[in-house]
Structures are given as C-alpha cells and as structure tokens.
Amino acid sequence: MATITRVTRWGGYPAWAWILQAASGVLLVVLLSLHIIAQHFVAPGGVLDYGGVVAHLRNPVIFVLETAFAGSVLFHVFAGVRAILLDLAPSKAQERSINVILTTLGVGLFVYGLVLTLVVVTR
Amino acid sequence: MTGNGQHNTALRWGDSVRWFDARRRGLGMWAFALNRITGVLLMIYLLVHFVNISVLYLGETAWNQLMDLFRMPPFLIFDVALVLVLLYHGLNGIRLVILALDIGVAQQKRIFWGLMAFGTVVAVFTAFGLFRG
C-alpha cells in the first residue's frame, strides 16, 4: 500500500488535518523564505526601521504575501499543537474543546495581525 | 483512539512521560521527536514575535529603538539559532512530505542526512549574512 494512504487515512477517513498541515508546510517554505529575505536580508542592518516597515507593507503584493504567510503559519502552528494534544488520547469532549480553543486562538491572532498591519499602513 | 476503538476519558500522563524516553529509537523516531521539539520552539517564537511586532502600535520612536536593540550581537546569535531551528523543521518537513508521497522510502536515511547537509550550508551563509550586517 502506498505510504500516502497510510499516513493520510485515519480510522477510514482521510486525515484532512495532516494533509492540510503538510500542504501549509510546503507553502510556508516559500512564504517564510520571502518573509525573511524581504524583512531581514534586503533591509539595511538586518531589520526594517519604522518607515521601512510601512513602505514594505504598503506594497499590495507584499501585503497579500504577508497576510497569506500569517494565515498559513497560524494554521500550521495550531494544527501542530492539535496533533500533539490528540496524541495524548483525549476524549471526544476534550477533543471538541481543543478544536474550539485552538481555532479561536488562531483566528484571533490572524485578525489581530491583520488589524495591526492595516493600522500601520493607513496612519 | 485505541486499537479496539475505545476512547480514553482523560489525558494520560504516562504517555507524555514515555514520549521523552529516547531509548531504543531509530533515526526516524529521533527525527520525529526533534520535529515536535523544534515545532514547539517555533510556536513560542511566533507568540513572542506577535508581541514584538505589536510595538509598531507605539509608533516610530519605540519601533526604531527596538530595532536598534535587535541589531546587537546577542540578538544576531538568537537569529542564527532561530534559522537553525527553522531549517531543521522545514527540511525534515519536506522529507516527511516526500515520504508520504512514497518517494525515496528505501533511501530515507540518506535523504535525511542530505537535507541536513544542505541546511548546514544555508545556516553558514545565513550566519555570515547576519553578522556582515
């Protein structure tokens, strides 16, 4: 049997959490590389000063890339935390709480980052 | 979910302790353990990073002072460590995806060390880039 069917099926259902975490991981290799190169290697002295950050984020292409980066990194991180917690064999009720708490944290941080970005580019 | 389909009612403390028992493990198990450890470190970094970019709210002076701090050698050493952790987690992740696609299963140890060698080269270039300024 192909490895992909073993690692991507769990109890007879496709393991969407695993597939999406792998996919977001591959996406992150690209988006994180762009994030680091743009913010820390092109920038003089390794980090952007305030004006540099504003100019960087006001570029619509960069804005879209950084937003996509934030979304995929938060998904990837919280899917990872969920995978660790599910390995501790929680009950169904505990698993539901884990899902609700982690989704809230992930969405909350994404919205917070988006608001921060919009405040910085618009003032 | 256990093999017979039964659910446990509580988190099992014994499992989390056994998880740290690194004896009798092959390369793949070590790679997996390190993947999780680096993953947790990166999660902590991400949360700290959310706090440090929040300084943008405080305005130009506060942000630029923080960046002057980040340009100092102790922080550059931290950046190199961060890059090492990221490279391990990312390259090992690529290995996991490759294996899941059923590619190179027989050569997985060679692929692991090949990716680690590549990561070392990237880390050295990154360290030079960071300290050159």
* pLDDT tens digits in sequence order for chain A, 123 residues long: 456 666 666 565 567 888 899 999 999 999 999 998 887 777 776 678 999 999 999 999 999 999 999 999 999 999 999 999 988 889 999 999 999 999 999 999 999 999 999 999 998
ipTM for the complex shown: 0.87
Domain that holds residue A69: 3-122
Chain B: residues touching A (Cβ < 8 Å) = 1-2, 7-12, 15-16, 19, 36, 39-40, 42-43, 46, 50, 53-54, 56-57, 59-60, 63-64, 67, 70-71, 76, 79, 86, 90, 93-94, 96-97, 99-102, 105, 129-130, 133
- Name B133's Cβ contacts closer than 8 Å, sequence gap at least 6: A45, A46, B71
Closest C-alpha among A74, A80, A81 to residue A18: A80
Least-confidence region, from A6-10, B32-36, B113-117: A6-10
Q: Measured between CB atoms, does A119 come within 8 Å of chain B?
A: yes
Q: How many domains does chain A have?
A: 1
Q: Which of A25, A46, A119 sits opposite B93 (nearest CB)?
A: A25
CA distance A50 to chain B (A): 5
Q: Which two tokens stand for residue B63?
A: 């942000």
Q: Quick one: closest CA in B to A45, which residue?
A: B133
Domain formed by B25-132, architecture:
Up-down Bundle (1.20)
CATH code, domain carrying A83:
1.20.1300.10
What is the residue-averaged pLDDT of chain B?
A: 85
Q: If you average pLDDT over residues B117-126, what whole number do you get?
A: 94
B58-111, pLDDT tens digit by residue? 999 999 999 999 989 999 899 999 999 999 999 999 998 998 888 888 888 899
- In this structure, what is the dihedral angle of CA atoms B80, B25, B96, B91, given to the nearest 10 degrees? 20
Q: How many CB atoms lie within 10 A of CB A113?
A: 21
The residue type of A37 is I
In chain B, what is the straight-line distance between the N-terminal and C-terminal CA atoms, in Å?
A: 51
DSSP 8-state secondary structure symbol assigned to residue A13:
E
Domain boundaries, given as residue ranges, for chain B:
25-132
